[in-house]
Amino acid sequence: MFTKEDNSPKHPYDAVKELSYDCEGYIRWKGKSVEHYKDPEDPKQIPSLWEIVKRCQHLEEIGVPVDTCTVIWCSDWYKDMEQDCLYKDFFVSLHDWLIHPEGQIVIVTSDVNEDFLLYTRQNQDNQDWQKTVFTETSYDLYHQMKKQGFSTIDAGQGEDMGLCYASFQSIMKLIEFHEIPSDLVKAN
């Protein structure tokens, strides 16, 4: 991480072959966009670039796809996750977790075709999950659910904040409380 000449931190682009950027400022890991900077060569970005390297390497070690969502938006979900986590597939596919004031729960995930899968349970007493495929955009889905009275479940992320702002531990507590089976999303 340090150069021999002046003992200053080596630039991540020079030290890590998997890390690059394009002319539009997109930071890439093995060619896949993971972040965007106005000036990707700005020396002030060096600490955050090293953090991106650390996250990307960890994600690869635990078998989680490296993309903007896993590296930036939902990075807290993965920082303490281990490779053998039973809910790894659940976290990777999770888009939202909605709850209705009457107790209905809807978990929104995505499948390999990029369709949204809705897993619905009527209430805490009913352990049967209904699966529905939704092919519209997540924006359309979210607003349709809001019109029906649903809101994002409270996982400690703050009011009107998306689920990506919740911690891994908070979501795991919800998984345990709502008795979500670990194989819920593995059949995608």
Q: Are 92 and 67 in contact (CB under 8 A)?
A: no
For the chain, how big is the Rg over CA atoms in Å?
A: 19
Confidence of residue 81 (pLDDT cuts 50, 70, 90): very high
- Give the number of other CB atoms < 10 A from CB of residue 75: 17
Per-residue pLDDT at 3:
41
Query: DSSP assignment, residue 156?
Result: S
Per-residue pLDDT at 139:
67
Amino acid at 22: D
Per-residue pLDDT at 187:
43
| 19 or 119, higher pLDDT | 19
Mean residue pLDDT of the chain comes to 86
Is the confidence at residue 40, as pLDDT, over 50? Answer: yes
Query: DSSP assignment, residue 100?
Result: -
Q: How far apart are CA 153 and CA 134, in angstroms?
A: 20
| 182 or 187, higher pLDDT | 182
Name 43's bridge partners: none
| 131 or 49, higher pLDDT | 49
pLDDT tens by residue, 52-77: 999 999 999 999 999 999 999 999 99
- Report the alpha-carbon angle 112-184-101, nearest 5: 110
Q: What is the mean pLDDT of residues 120-137?
A: 78
Query: DSSP assignment, residue 11?
Result: P
pLDDT tens by residue, 108-121: 888 766 778 888 88
Per-residue pLDDT at 188:
44
Q: What is the mean pLDDT of residues 154-179?
A: 89
Per-residue pLDDT at 66:
97
Contacts of 139 (CB under 8 A, 6+ apart): none
Percentage of the chain beyond pLDDT 70 is 88
Per-residue pLDDT at 186:
60
